[in-house]
């Protein structure tokens, strides 16, 4: 007997409340945009410029004592946070000290790091510096611009690819889903004030690729069924296509999430932001492939006079049992 996560030959009506799903997506995007305007992002050292010092001590981290120790150094904005990780031993107490970029300096000076280390060791003699990361203000500004260009170019390339492979209606539907995923991911980082650094940009580009792959599988089956059922209304063809690929979509998302959740729990704090972005991206990417991309295609319509023969396209694995 074979275990199925999704029953065979499903017949869900995904467009029964299409306007409701699009309305929810639109509302979430508005909330994300407003949060970004009001709160902004909690930029990491890559984008903000400054120095991050990672320390480790045998005694528990006393954030108040650490802050009192570095205040006389007059370093400007200093953020001190304790790092928690289930893999840390009892004598591994890790803290992250973020210091804003110093005026007139492109990188942290050795004297400043030595002064901070000495001040903290006066609080806890067992404290040691594990790593130091420094990014100048000019470099951080260039990184923000380059990261934004990278995301925009990726989405633009997707628009051209889908336009050439399918039709312009498919392209707009796919890009709408990608923009939806990127905005919601940036929005959740703004709302929760999770550190936003270069690793998150890598996650955004990965999310674009994941969501696109899922959308293309559905769209390939839509194109195949449009040629196969020339008289069926577009809504019925879309519902049929999504149901036929639902097993593959569900299995891919669940197995990906299992790996990501394991990384989030056991992977440590260094990659936790990246993994969180990926988990969120897989969830919203799966949702958008069905309820945003396909709904946009239904709204835009598509020509039905294709004379090309039916082919399997890229959906030979679309009905894999899950």
In a domain, 7, yes or no: no
pLDDT band at 317 (very low <50, low <70, confident <90, very high): very low
pLDDT digits (tens, 9 = 90+) for 222-247: 888 888 887 788 888 888 888 888 88
Query: pLDDT value at position 169?
Result: 84
In a domain, 319, yes or no: no
In a domain, 111, yes or no: yes
Strands 128-135 and 50-57: antiparallel
The whole-model pTM stands at 0.73
Same domain, 94 and 149: no
Same domain, 157 and 212: yes
Same domain, 198 and 215: yes
pLDDT digits (tens, 9 = 90+) for 98-124: 887 766 565 567 778 888 888 888 888
Same domain, 143 and 58: no
Residue 109 structural domain: 50-135
Same domain, 225 and 92: no
In a domain, 98, yes or no: yes
Contact predicate 139/163, CB 8 Å:
no
Residue range 266-280: average pLDDT?
84
Contact predicate 215/166, CB 8 Å:
no
Same domain, 159 and 96: no
Strands 78-83 and 42-43: unpaired
Query: pLDDT value at position 124?
Result: 86
Same domain, 79 and 187: no
Cβ-in-10-Å burial (0-12, 13-18, 19+) of 73 comes to: middle
Provide the percentage of residues in the chain whose pLDDT is more than 90: 11
Same domain, 260 and 294: yes
In a domain, 313, yes or no: no
Instruction: Provide the mean pLDDT of the chain.
Output: 81
Same domain, 113 and 232: no
């Amino acid at each position: 007997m074979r275990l199925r996560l999704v029953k065979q030959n499903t017949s869900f009506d995904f467009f029964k409340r299409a306007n409701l799903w699009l309305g929810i997506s639109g509302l979430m995007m508005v909330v994300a945009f407003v949060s970004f305007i009001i709160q902004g992002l909690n930029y990491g050292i890559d984008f903000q410029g400054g120095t991050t010092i990672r320390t480790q001590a045998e005694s528990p981290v006393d954030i108040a004592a650490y802050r009192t120790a570095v205040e006389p150094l007059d370093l400007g904005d200093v953020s001190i946070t304790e790092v928690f990780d289930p893999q840390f031993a009892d004598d591994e107490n890790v803290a992250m000290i973020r210091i804003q970029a110093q005026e007139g300096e492109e990188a942290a000076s050795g004297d400043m790091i030595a002064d901070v280390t000495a001040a903290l060791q006066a609080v806890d003699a067992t404290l040691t510096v594990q790593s130091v990361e420094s990014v100048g203000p000019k470099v951080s500004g260039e990184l923000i611009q380059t990261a934004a260009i990278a995301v925009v170019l990726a989405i633009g390339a997707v628009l051209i690819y889908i336009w050439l492979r399918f039709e312009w209606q498919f392209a707009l539907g796919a890009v709408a889903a990608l923009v939806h995923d990127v905005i919601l991911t940036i929005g959740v980082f703004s709302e929760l004030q999770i550190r936003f650094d270069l690793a998150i940009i890598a996650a955004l580009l990965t999310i674009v690729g994941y969501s696109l792959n899922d959308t293309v599988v559905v769209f390939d089956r839509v194109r195949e069924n449009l040629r196969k059922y020339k008289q069926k209304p577009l809504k019925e063809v879309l519902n049929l296509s999504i149901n036929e690929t639902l097993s593959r979509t569900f299995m891919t998302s669940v197995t990906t999430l299992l790996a990501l959740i394991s990384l989030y729990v056991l992977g440590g704090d260094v990659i936790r932001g990246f993994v969180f972005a990926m988990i969120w991206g897989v969830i919203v990417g799966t949702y958008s492939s069905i309820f945003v991309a396909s709904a946009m295609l239904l709204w835009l319509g598509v020509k039905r006079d294709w004379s090309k023969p039916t082919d399997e396209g890229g959906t030979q694995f679309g009905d894999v049992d899950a």
